[in-house]
A and B are shown apart, each in its own frame.
Chain A
């Protein structure tokens, strides 16, 4: 039992799990029920509605992953992030990103990780990037980082002074469900962090300091209706803890990395894939996030989305690195797909900005 618990506190990489290897994940997603014809592959499915090959629309979001290091080891993490991950974006790569940020047509800059704040150059990067005047500057903060160490205590003020839009994860308004997914003690620390963000003005009604929450189901099921969930979250967090926030993004867990590992270990993999395929919504394909996003990895490579980044599926373009970035050439690519893509097209659709087909 103790051994099991310790294992859960390590990334798949640290555990030398087979599923730490991207190709092994892709194999799993292509074999079995998808190879024997029980379920259609994603490309077959989108062909039915004439949406193959998937192509980008106008670039709107530049998402930069500044490293896989994190103070948490969440059970569902698609990044396989954790304290033992050492992949961190260097200042040199950040400088290459800044060149792009200053010239991009995208209206949103989205920093993610791991815990992006753990990158030693994080504050310098935010400082520089915020000068580019991008309309919406998001930092995905896991909340507990704000409470993890004295050096992070002033993050709410730092975010405020750079007018950063904070997007944070919160799987439930109850302690039990949150801690089960994100680790013991995470709920209490997240609540404190949210209260501190509220205290400087984040998430308050009519405040321009945006604070949104991300909800991921804590198990092998799909998220419910985003608007109803938001209502329930708002009521519970306000009544129990006096917390305010703006919007809730309901995000479907994609069957990759640690969530895939969980699905297989709990014998939920096939049922989950059935759920995703049954909930396939062609309308969600139209607005799927890979069509308006470019994802940049810690080492500067370019991907259609953060999930493809973790599966090491680089963009299908002659431009594959931020140092040679060219928006026009990149926009002329075909988006790389596999069966994990069903996660973004189920029900009301799912993206880093929440539902896409509401």
Chain B
């Protein structure tokens, strides 16, 4: 039965079901996803913190739940998690503010 809410925490458990309507693409996605998070030039721990920061900038409640738990499982501290969230927030606010230069350029061009 469809939920009355756009977001339902239980839907995260059903993420894997997306393969039901497109097996090939769904499976390719999950294979890629799994590979991305393996230990590489970056540690799995570093990747988890990046994912947590992006989860916040994307404002994805599923991803926030998933990577908060993932962080705890890896022994990542609350302080580290919050710093990662601030990195995301700083980039997000910086991304808004840097457009202020465009505004200034436009205003400077139009004004006498």
Interface secondary structure of A, over-half rule: loop
Q: Which of B43, B44, B69, B73 lies in contact with A223, CB distance below 8 A?
A: B73
Interface centre among B13, B45, B72 (most CB of A within 10 A): B72
A contact residues around B77 at 8 Å (CB): 174, 176-177
- Among A263-280, those with CB < 8 Å from B are 274, 278
The answer to whether A172 and B73 touch across the interface, beta carbons within 8 angstroms, is: no
The range of chain A's interface size is: 10 to 19
Q: Given that A221-B69, A228-B45 are known contacts, is A274 also in contact with B13, CB under 8 Å in the complex?
A: yes
- The smallest C-beta distance from A251 to any residue of chain B, in angstroms, reads 13
Cα separation A219 to B13 with both chains bound (whole Å): 20
Cα separation A223 to B75 with both chains bound (whole Å): 8
27 pairs from A and B in contact (CB 8 Å cutoff) = A172-B75, A173-B75, A174-B77, A176-B77, A177-B77, A217-B72, A217-B73, A219-B72, A221-B69, A221-B72, A221-B73, A222-B73, A223-B73, A224-B74, A224-B75, A225-B44, A225-B74, A228-B43, A228-B44, A228-B45, A229-B74, A229-B75, A232-B45, A232-B75, A233-B75, A274-B13, A278-B13
A contact residues around B73 at 8 Å (CB): 217, 221-224
Give 10 nearest A-B pairs by CB, closest first.
A224-B73, A224-B74, A221-B72, A221-B69, A221-B73, A232-B75, A229-B75, A222-B73, A174-B77, A219-B72
Cα separation A174 to B69 with both chains bound (whole Å): 18
Cα separation A233 to B13 with both chains bound (whole Å): 31
A contact residues around B43 at 8 Å (CB): 228
Q: How many A-B residue pairs lie within 8 Å, measured between CB atoms?
A: 29
Cα separation A217 to B71 with both chains bound (whole Å): 12
Cα separation A76 to B62 with both chains bound (whole Å): 27
Cα separation A295 to B88 with both chains bound (whole Å): 50
- CB-CB contacts of B19-46 with A at 8 A, as 1s and 0s? 0000000000000000000000001110
Cα separation A224 to B44 with both chains bound (whole Å): 11
Task: Name the CB-closest residue of B to A171.
Answer: B75
- CB-CB contacts of A212-236 with B at 8 A, as 1s and 0s? 0000010101111100110011000
B contact residues around A228 at 8 Å (CB): 43-45, 74
- The smallest C-beta distance from A59 to any residue of chain B, in angstroms, reads 33
A contact residues around B72 at 8 Å (CB): 217, 219, 221
Other contacts beyond A174-B77, A221-B69, A228-B74: 19, CB < 8 A: A172-B75, A173-B75, A176-B77, A177-B77, A217-B72, A217-B73, A222-B73, A224-B73, A224-B74, A224-B75, A225-B44, A225-B74, A228-B43, A228-B44, A228-B45, A229-B74, A229-B75, A232-B75, A278-B13
Cα separation A247 to B13 with both chains bound (whole Å): 34
Task: Name the CB-closest residue of A to B39.
Answer: A228
B contact residues around A177 at 8 Å (CB): 77
B contact residues around A176 at 8 Å (CB): 77
A contact residues around B75 at 8 Å (CB): 172-173, 224, 229, 232-233
